[in-house]
A and B are shown apart, each in its own frame.
Chain A
Amino acid sequence: MSTATRRRRFVSGPRCRTIPFAILALALGGCGGSSTPERRTLIDSRDNYDPRSLDPALSTDVPTGRAVAYVFDGLTRFTERAELAPNLATTWEVSPDGLIYTFHLKSGVRFHDGTPFTAADVKHSFERVLDPATPGGRGWPLYPIKGAKDYAAGKLKSISGVEVPNDTTVLFTLAEPFAIFPKMLAMPATGIVPHRTPPDFGEHPVGTGPWRFVEWRHDDYLRFARNADYHGGAPLADSLEARIIPEMSTAEAEFEAGNVDVLWVPEQATPAWEENEETRPLLQSAPSLRLIYAAMNTTHGPLRDVRVRRAINYAIDTRVILRRLMGGRGTVAAGVIPPSLAGFDSTRAPYPYDPAKARALLAEAGYPNGVDVELWSSQSEQFPRIAQTIQAYLARANIRVKLVQRDASSMREAARKGNTDIALKDWYADYPDAENFLYPLLHSANAGVGGNVSFYHNATFDSVVSASRREQDPAKRAALYRQADSIAFEDAPMIFLFFYKEVDAVQPWIKGYVVPSIFNGQRWTTVSIKHEAKAGTK
């Protein structure tokens, strides 16, 4: 999933990033500690644009995905550390051929409106997401189920692969083995909705999740109240508010004033936050399942030659870009699998910065006078600066770069149509698995609209990835992931840049907050405001 619509990087118009607000505030002596607020509402400030809806079927962006995770439950869920955990399903097993999954559901769970949750709701919810009349287009996580694709195309009356033998059991028959299928059921789109969903369901959602929906003031805030009967343990705080603040400097000011509890720290502000002794203890971080990379179109001119693509990787000092432009937020990538996921190979070193080698490779490829390429980037966040820096590095290796800057939507369209040479992009995982990087970004089945905008096609890579999707044994699967990643690293269909590190500032009075590694991993159930016992000074 691209972060252009998924994370703060969504550029919603003219922004004033010229002012490093924290620094200015520090200079004016503004950074004073606020005292613990009286409120009993947790306030989040990480959303920077309005969710598109609170209907799971429409959840394609981060604010929507987060809110859906508060109100709805899937059969499974992701923890803050991006591990798979049971949710509405307590256990599940898979048949030896990897085709039939049996999920055993919790009993006694009720929706916020009091209706009991049963296995029939699962079938109904999945059919609703896939229904051609539901204009979400978010059915793909369920496509592994037999008949799901045909149902989505209007060819079937119901999904043949879903069976409900009793109220607490659901059976899924897959079209072909797909070992990480349970992870699909933790995505926002596969959240369970009650049988009756009125037309304004997206505005007044009813789920079984830890938080009941209370109020949504568009572009302002979302408010939720504690579901005291939550089957997974009621949230500690009374209520939760997600404020929608488009401008980061404003969010920083709100944090500074003590009005919000958690703040996403912008990259360029990170050093200022880290160097200040008052603000440093407030920072928390987590490795994020987000890859920043530049897809090289392997069907374009000199980029067809693997030596040219490797030369480009050798010609860029990624560490310097990471340190200087990203506030050191991340680790340099040597492949597409993030360090926290199975399949990551810690022995593989990133491409070192070696301009001489880059020039030699170019000469070997028959380009002693260098090559000309176009580098596309969106206007989001640090991307234009990263693009300019890459341009400068490549110039030293005799690779002449023409920068093309477009808004995110235009760039995405151009890249998918194959009109870009190199496209600076990022990818934020939908689910925590190496497959979510290897398959969409590089498998030839996803060339173009599917996400592989390198138009990379390597038959061996494809077959290894396809095999990994079927492999039931986790260790063998991880080995296949490692193998595929290694092939991709050698073929260099992209400039491998970095895996991102998420940094949030958390108020000192907040207890139990963990920075999530995946966007819907933090459901605020164990977070609370630590109200100090009143001292007798008043």
Chain B
Amino acid sequence: MISFIARRLALSIPTLIGVLVVTFLLLYVAPGDPVQEMVGERADSATIARLRKDLRLDEPVTSQFTHYAGGILRGNLGTSYITRRPIIQDVLERFPKTLLLAGTAMLFASITGIFIGVLSAQHPNGWFDRLALGAAYLGISFPVYWVGLLLILLFAVTLHWLPPSGYGGLRHLILPALALGTRSVAFLARVTRSAMLDVLNSDFVRTARAKGLREHVVVTRHALRNALIPVITVLGLDFGYYLTGSILTETIFSWPGLGRYVVNAISRRDLPAIQGSVLFLSVVFVLVNLLTDLAYAKADKRVAL
């Protein structure tokens, strides 16, 4: 297992280098001038030229990249053009909040989604199954900002149960996590249902029932465990959705996470902030994929690492 992890981590290095190069080049060719965004309008050409030189933006792309990559190798993500704060400080301040939101949404989505999926699979085409199917279609179809605004309208504005937005305790977390998780609930319920149907019709489940095991033991101990593999795959892949979907959720609920930071950085052409955040998120992505693989092994003994 240790060697598996080491191998996977080693293999992720070329991926991250690729991310670094592609992000850098994309930003290099993108229109918009970072220096003009820094100084605002009405700046004079002398100031602009001086800043361009200070930031090495007047150098050839290769030398800019070498300088930037050198900084990364020394563990320095650089300093924001706009705020003059170290990028790593900004990222580390916001990422835990994004992670908290994504984690809660994922927890909510997996518990609810798997539960609905299992119940639906027990009586396929029954009333609950049909209801859940219909709700799942709606859940997948609603965009997150629509769901978010409806949640705010209902629970914050009309019922006054929860705060409309902001970052704080559990009360602030509920609505954004619901909004972010809804689409996933629907998706996970569908995947769990079909995996469960496959498993429930297999020989070992019949054997388990024939042994006289109680139905809930058959479902939870025998069937669900085997049906979890595709569910874990979906959860792992969905994590990307959580990180990108969180940009919208964070905007709607004024959640001070990394998604908003990146969007702001893009519109202000804050190159080091964009590059640093993308690189950081790529590392997180690689790690999540690794964790997904480790979870397979935990759920299914046949998967050898």
Contacts and interface: CB of A to CB of B under 8 A. Distances in A.
Interface of A: 1-2, 5-6, 10-16, 19, 21, 24-25, 28-30, 49-50, 52-53, 55, 58, 60-61, 132, 135-140, 143, 149, 152-153, 202-203, 217-221, 243-247, 249-250, 253-254, 256-257, 259, 406-410, 412-414, 416, 430, 440, 446, 449-451
Given A412-B36, A449-B36, A139 B31 contact: no
Interface in B246-270: 247-248, 251-254, 256-257, 260-261, 263-264, 266-269
A257 B164 contact: yes
Contacts of A13: 247-248, 251, 260, 263-264, 266-267
A1 B43 CA distance: 10
Contact of A10 (B50, B254, B267): B267
Interface stretch (B67-75, B145-153, B201-209, B213-221): B145-153
Interface stretch (B79-87, B122-130, B184-192): B79-87
Contacts of B145: 14, 16
B90 interface: yes
Nearest to B90: A218
What's the interface size class on B, roughly?
Answer: 35 or more
A138 B41 CA distance: 10
Given A16-B252, A28-B153, A416 B165 contact: no
A12 B40 contact: no
Query: Which 5 pairs between the two chains have the least Cβ-Cβ distance?
Result: A409-B32, A60-B40, A137-B39, A13-B263, A219-B256
Given A13-B247, A140-B44, A247-B252, A60 B32 contact: no
Nearest to A21: B149
Nearest to A253: B164
Contacts of B31: 406, 409-410, 413-414
A250 B164 contact: yes
Contact of B42 (A1, A21, A30, A412): A1
Given A11-B267, A28-B158, A52 B83 contact: yes
B115 interface: no
A202 B79 CA distance: 14
Given A243-B254, A250-B254, A16 B267 contact: no
**Among A11, A16, A21: residue with most chain B CB under 10 A:** A16
Given A12-B260, A13-B247, A14-B251, A413 B42 contact: no
B59 interface: no
Contact of A245 (B30, B83, B254): B254
A137 B38 contact: yes
B30 to A, nearest CB: 8
26 contacts: A15-B251, A24-B149, A24-B153, A30-B158, A49-B264, A55-B84, A202-B85, A218-B90, A219-B260, A244-B254, A244-B256, A245-B165, A246-B260, A249-B252, A250-B253, A253-B157, A256-B164, A257-B157, A257-B163, A407-B267, A409-B33, A412-B36, A414-B31, A416-B36, A430-B42, A449-B36
B37 interface: yes
Given A12-B263, A407-B32, A449-B36, A152 B42 contact: no
A137 B48 contact: yes
Contacts of A430: 42
B66 interface: no
Interface in B42-80: 42-48, 50-51, 54
B230 interface: no
B198 interface: no
Given A52-B83, A410-B32, A440 B42 contact: yes
B192 to A, nearest CB: 30
A347 to B, nearest CB: 30
Contacts of B222: none
B240 interface: no
A218 B268 contact: no
B167 interface: yes
A1 B40 contact: yes
A interface secondary structure, majority: loop
Interface of B is mostly: helix
A430 to B, nearest CB: 7
A451 B48 CA distance: 14
Contact of A202 (B84, B153, B253): B84
- Residue among A14, A202, A430 with the highest chain B CB neighbour number at 10 A: A14
B160 A257 contact: yes
Contacts of B83: 52-53, 58, 202
A407 B269 CA distance: 11
Contacts of B40: 1-2, 5-6, 60-61, 137-138
B156 interface: yes
B166 interface: yes
B152 A413 contact: no
Nearest to A412: B36
Contacts of A30: 153, 157-158
Contacts of A52: 82-83
Nearest to A202: B84
Nearest to B263: A13
Given A14-B248, A140-B42, A219-B94, A253 B268 contact: no
Interface string B1-15: 000000000000000
Contact of A409 (B37, B94, B152): B37
B93 interface: yes
A61 B83 CA distance: 11
Contact of B156 (A257, A408, A451): A257
Given A58-B83, A410-B30, 7 more contacts: A1-B41, A5-B37, A16-B146, A50-B264, A257-B157, A409-B268, A412-B33
Interface in B217-253: 247-248, 251-253
B85 A203 contact: yes
A409 B164 contact: no
B256 A220 contact: yes
B166 A220 contact: yes
B153 A259 contact: no
Interface in B73-125: 82-85, 90, 93-94
A259 B164 contact: yes
Nearest to A19: B149
A14 to B, nearest CB: 6
B145 to A, nearest CB: 4
B268 A243 contact: no
Contacts of A2: 40-41
A457 to B, nearest CB: 17
A328 to B, nearest CB: 26
Given A11-B267, A409-B33, A414-B31, A253 B152 contact: yes
